[in-house]
Structure 1
Amino acid sequence: MKYLITGGCGFIGSNLAAEVLKRGEELFVLDNLFRYGSGSNLEWLRTKGDFTYYPYDTRNTNDVETVIKEVQPDYIFHLAGQVAMTTSISNPRLDYDTNALGTFNLLDAVRKYSPDSVILYSSTNKVYGDFEYLHFREESTRYVCEEYPNGFPESISLDFHSPYGCSKGCADQYLLDFHRIYGLKTSVFRHSSMYGSNQHATYDQG
């Protein structure tokens, strides 16, 4: 199987890429190394096995189409993105271009050149807006929402907050609609803050 990871030198991407290599699959990484720590993650990843690296930018249509046409990936983990709330407020254009436009470029390239690829997208819980109307209780390993003890259903209303929530939400909805309209195989993960090795977190994350 061929795996393409956009943002493959980031926190989640580099760990996922290492797992792909561990399993002996063919790996392709697309990352412009814009984010602090991405370069060192790339060097770390090179110690884990052989893969093809593209120093490209998802905001560039030609970059994305070139990779999709060349690779024809079986699976795409779309992790490239702008992840800081404060950055989205100070520079909403960068935030929109990275999260919304970058995702659209990827989807449209897959639609045209590799429609059988499976696309898995890293979205955010910020698409749900303010959860103050819900009630949570603390348990030994997590907080449980009393109204939704088994997790939030897909039917729960979306309420984008902040430029970050809007850009991620826009991308989120495009993935769902490219499935409905064009039949692409897409899936969206709306997760919260995570932490771990290779993160190189900034003060405004989590």
Structure 2
Amino acid sequence: MKLLVTGGAGFIGSAVVRQAIGQGHSVVNVDALTYAACLDNVASVADNPNYAFEQADIRDRAALDRVFATHKPDAVMHLAAESHVDRSIDGPGDFIETNITGTYNMLEAARKYWTDAGKPARFRFHHISTDEVYGSLPKDPSVMFTEDTAYDPRSPYSASKASSDHLVRAWGETYGLPVVLTNCSNNYGPFHFPEKLIPVVILNALAGKDLPIYGDGSNIRDWLYVEDHADALLLVVQKGVLGRAYNIGGENERTNLELVKTLCAILDEKCPKQDGGSYADQITFVTDRPGHDARYAIDPTRIRDELGWRPSVTVEEGLEKTVQWYLDNETWWKPLQARQGVGQRLGVKT
């Protein structure tokens, strides 16, 4: 199968690219190489004959038409997006342009290509989204997001992703474009850009800096190891039922404070502090993010029952792998810390 992967130099997209190549697929990686992208993420497959890279922006329709005409993919996996909630608070315009207008351009370019090719039955447009479109859950563990949960986005980021989800469904219903959607919980793992919670904690800990936790640290997230997510996405694009959405979760709920304390304990073991103290001593509580959702939790019943997928990595296993990866890969993350906004407190505008 030849896959056109947008955002393939980003965190989740690069995991999909690496795994797809490993499974024997051909991949066309389309990425604009904005601040959070890094071609080092796909260096391990860059010389593979089944891999091609196109630097193109999904906001550029002419460029997308050229990419489709040149590479003639069997399926699209649309991951390109602005995704950092704090940045969306400070600058929502980029999220509207990329996540909404960019998705519109992708849908129209895919529709033209599919129609001109005679509407081949094999073609798929797989839109990858987030559980944040559903809003916030109470802390009752019996209440979870399902594919039927009503959308209730609370941030510019989640609102822009909800909008893109609606566009994809509309193109499926109105034009018959063969679409499938997925909504995932919080990802983590290797190559995670160093502005998100887990890499921030690891790298700040090693640098002797404060480990900032929003509010009182009681916000709950369901954590999904990125390679498990990539495996699920490749399964859905091949076997998912057209027009369906699949929620992909890690079945690993933790409060932010629990998560940070676990990371500190792993670091205490793998890289002990010279003074004999714990990295947990660096934990500090900072002013909460505006509109910070209390809890996200995915019910993965549909993807488990229909496609036989479930996560293979517990959060403890995944965090240990992730910490070790950052300890071993300073040459990857060190240059990224100089990029715009990294290491600064964002998302405090109201």
What is the TM-score of this pair, normalised by structure 1?
A: 0.85
Is 2:182 aligned against 1:189? yes
Contact 1:123 1:168 in 2 (8 A): yes
Query: What is the rounded CA distance, in whole Å, between the counterparts of 1:66 and 1:53 in structure 2?
Result: 13
Corresponding residue for 1:163? 156
Structure 1 residues 75-84 or 48-57, which shifts more? 48-57
TM-superposed CA distance for 1:65, in Å, is 1.5
| Residue 127 (structure 2) aligns with | 121
Deviation of residue 103 (structure 1)? 0.7
Match of 2:296 in 1: none
SS in 1 for 2:187: coil
Aligned to 1:58: 58
Deviates more, 1:42-51 or 1:71-80: 42-51
* Equivalent runs, 1:123-162 vs 2, <5 Å: 123-132=129-138, 135-136=140-141, 146-148=142-144, 152-162=145-155
Amino acid aligned to 1:182: Y
Cα 1:37/1:93, change in 2 over 3 Å:
closer
Is 1:92 the counterpart of 2:92? The answer is: yes
Q: Distance in 2 between matches of 1:121 and 1:19?
A: 18
Instruction: Tell me, yes or no, if the aligned pair for 1:59 and 1:97 is still in contact at 8 Å.
Output: yes
- Contact 2:5 2:29 (8 Å CA) reproduced: yes
**Mapped contact 2:82–2:98 kept (Cα < 8 A):** yes
Partner SS for 2:111: helix
Secondary structure of 2:13's counterpart equals: helix
Structure 2 residue 112 is matched with structure 1 residue 106: no
2:3 match: 3
Distance 1:147 1:86 in 2: 26
- Residues of 2 paired with 1:36 and 1:47: CA distance? 22
The alpha carbon displacement at 1:154 in A equals 2.6
Give the 3 Å change call, closer, same or farther, for CA 16–87 of structure 1 in structure 2: same
CA separation in 1, counterparts of 2:63 and 2:131? 29
CA distance in 2, matches of 1:87, 1:4: 27
Give the 5 Å matches for 1:190-205: 190-203=183-196
Give CA-to-partner distance per residue, 1:57-113, whole Å, 9 cap, x none. Answer: 101111112112222211111111101001111111111111111111000111111
TM-score (norm 2): 0.52
Count matched residues.
193
Larger CA Rg, structure 1 vs 2: 2
8 Å Cα contact 1:14/1:45 also seen in 2: no
The superposition leaves residues 153-186 of structure 1 with CA deviations (integer Å, 9 ceiling, x where unpaired) of 3322111211101110010111111111111111
The CA deviation string for residues 138-161 of structure 1, in whole angstroms up to 9 with x for no partner, is: xxxxxxxx145xxx3332211121
Q: Partner letter of residue 164 of structure 2?
A: A
Structure 2 distance, partners of 1:11, 1:47, is 20
Q: What's the C-alpha RMSD, in Å, of the aligned pairs? A: 2.0
Q: Which moved more, 1:110-119 or 1:184-193?
A: 110-119
CA contact 1:78–1:122 (8 Å) conserved in 2: yes
1:73 aligns with: 73
Instruction: Give the Cα–Cα distance (whole angstroms) in 1 for the partners of residues 149 and 53 of structure 2.
Output: 38
Please list every run of at least 4 consecutive aligned residues from structure 1 whose deviation after the TM superposition is greater than 6 angstroms: none
